Amino acid sequence: MSSCVITADTPATVWKVLAGEGDTVSDGDTLMILEAMKMEIPVEAEQDGVVARILVAEGDLVEMDQRLVELV
């Protein structure tokens, strides 16, 4: 299994972090929810793996393509 870095698709605010470092996740699991223009945007795992690092915290403003989560 290779590592995977998940990035933001749009500028947004981190509304809720649902996964924690060390959690085992499956492809499609929601890791966090971003909020942009009053819309909730789920950030999903792109492969099965373990959350190696959460790179943002709830309330953070993120830019497009900013790294959010690393999976291994």
CA–CA gap between residue 31 and residue 17 (Å, rounded) = 6
pTM, rounded to two decimals: 0.93
Number of domains in the chain: 1
Q: pLDDT-derived band of residue 45, with 50, 70 and 90 as boundaries?
A: very high
Q: pLDDT-derived band of residue 1, with 50, 70 and 90 as boundaries?
A: low
CATH number at residue 36: 2.40.50.100
Q: What is the pLDDT of residue 7?
A: 98
Task: Take residue 31 and report the two structure tokens written for it.
Answer: 């890791």
CA–CA gap between residue 28 and residue 19 (Å, rounded) = 13
- Rounded average pLDDT over 6-35: 98
| 52: containing domain | 4-71
Asked if 69 and 31 touch (Cβ cutoff 8 Å), the reply is yes
What is the average pLDDT score of the chain?
97
Asked if 18 and 57 touch (Cβ cutoff 8 Å), the reply is no
CA–CA gap between residue 48 and residue 2 (Å, rounded) = 10
